[in-house]
């Protein structure tokens, strides 16, 4: 059984590195989708507003068209009435002329007066009808002008709507192109950082040697806690300082070689076994694991490593490598992991 576990420990697990690269790519895609949704929202608001304006203008045009139809009917009625009055006037004048020719002087004078009054009455009615017709024609002309203006506004809105749709298409094209370029850039960064990680871990293997208490698990370099710390303590042992001196030298060299535009960090993760701890200094395994990670980071900073490239994290007993409740499993789970990753 110990032989089988030892072989399993020496295996290289590439899965965590793949998961980190994939999660970085997913975050980039989520960012692009967020930008796309925001652009789509503002464009849809703009188009919806223009659709509402178009509907309102169409309703106004329909209303004006109905009013114009009513005015045209009224004009037709007025023209019919005018024709009737003109016919009546012509009949009255004809009657007047007939009376002039056939009646005597006294009766003729009375008939002429009556006919003249009727002609005057008809002339007044005709003038009133003419004035009403003129008012109707003026209203019709005003309605025609309003319809022309509304059609111009409708044309301008249709032009603006087409421009907005064209802008939407251009935005979608630019977003798609930006997404492709971002994916390419992310892939290049991941590959470049993976290459530096491989070089860094290779150099650490050479410096630290092939030792069972220092091993590589996936994309992490693992130190057993006993190398660096005494039991339930967060102060570095002298032997641990010697090992970390080698690590600091490798990190300082790495800082010189990685381009400054690559946002990388060395994450130091502290882990404990499942057995609880409670004392005035460390009320929980979480506090102990975090304190140990911070001690390693502070030591590396004291040796000249840039603080911008270091992160300390404590996981307590919640990320065990071995779920067994044996002394061997407890020892494997008490560890510090070093991971070179993106910030």
Query: What are the tens digits of pLDDT across the range 234-258?
Result: 999 999 999 899 889 888 988 888 8
Q: Is the pLDDT of residue 201 over 80?
A: no
Beta-bridge partners for 221: 216, 338
| CATH (residue range 211-342) | 3.30.1330.60
- CATH architecture of residue range(s) 34-187: Orthogonal Bundle (1.10)
Overall average pLDDT of the 303-308 stretch:
95
Kindly report, residue by residue over 250-279, the tens digit of the pLDDT: 889 888 888 888 888 999 999 999 999 988
Task: Answer with the residue of higher pLDDT: 67 or 7.
Answer: 67
The sheet with strand 214-217 has its strands ordered as: 214-217, 220-224, 335-342, 264-271, 310-314
Report, as an integer, the average pLDDT of 218-229. 88
Mean pLDDT of the residues in the chain? 79
Q: Is the dihedral of CA 234, 237, 239, 243 positive or negative?
A: positive
Using pLDDT thresholds of 50, 70 and 90, give the confidence band for residue 304.
very high
Please determine whether the domains at 34-187 and 211-342 fall in the same fold group of CATH.
no
Mean pLDDT of 197-225: 69
Query: How many residues does this entry show for the chain?
Result: 343
The residue ranking higher by pLDDT, 273 or 47, is: 273
Least confident range from 16-20, 73-77, 178-182, 287-291: namely 178-182
Is the entire prediction scored with pTM above 0.85? Answer: no
Percent of the chain with pLDDT over 90: 26
Domain boundaries, the chain: 34-187, 211-342
Contact (CB, 8 A) for 92 and 185: no
């Amino acid at each position: 059984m110990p032989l089988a576990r030892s072989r399993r420990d020496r295996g290289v697990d590439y899965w965590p590195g793949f998961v980190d690269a994939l999660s970085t790519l997913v975050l980039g895609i989520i960012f692009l989708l967020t930008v796309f949704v925001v652009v789509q929202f503002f464009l849809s608001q703009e188009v919806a507003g223009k659709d509402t304006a178009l509907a309102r203008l169409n309703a106004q045009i329909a209303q004006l068209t109905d009013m114009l139809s009513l005015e045209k009917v009224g004009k037709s009625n007025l023209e019919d009435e005018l024709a009737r009055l003109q016919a009546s006037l012509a009949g009255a004048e004809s009657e007047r002329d007939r009376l002039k020719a056939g009646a005597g002087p006294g009766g003729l004078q009375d008939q002429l007066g009556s006919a003249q009054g009727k002609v005057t009455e008809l002339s007044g009615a005709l003038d009133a009808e003419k004035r009403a017709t003129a008012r109707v024609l003026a209203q019709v002309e005003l309605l025609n002008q309003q319809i022309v203006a509304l059609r111009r506004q409708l044309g301008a809105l249709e032009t603006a709507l087409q421009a907005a749709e064209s802008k939407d298409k251009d935005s979608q094209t630019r977003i798609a192109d930006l997404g492709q370029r971002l994916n390419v850039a992310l892939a290049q960064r991941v590959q470049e950082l993976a290459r530096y990680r491989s070089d860094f871990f290779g150099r650490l293997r050479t410096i630290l040697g092939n030792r069972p208490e220092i091993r590589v698990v996936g994309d992490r370099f693992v130190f057993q806690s006993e190398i660096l710390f005494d039991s339930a303590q967060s102060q570095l042992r002298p032997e641990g300082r010697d090992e970390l001196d080698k690590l600091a030298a490798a990190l300082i060299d790495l800082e010189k070689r990685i381009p400054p535009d690559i946002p990388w960090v060395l994450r130091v993760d502290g882990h404990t076994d499942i057995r609880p701890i409670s004392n005035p200094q460390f009320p929980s395994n979480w506090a102990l694991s975090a304190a140990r990670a911070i001690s390693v980071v502070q030591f590396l900073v004291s040796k000249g490593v840039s603080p911008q490239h270091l992160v300390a994290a404590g996981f307590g007993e919640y990320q065990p490598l071995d779920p067994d409740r044996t002394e061997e499993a407890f020892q494997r789970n008490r560890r510090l992991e070093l991971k070179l990753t993106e910030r």
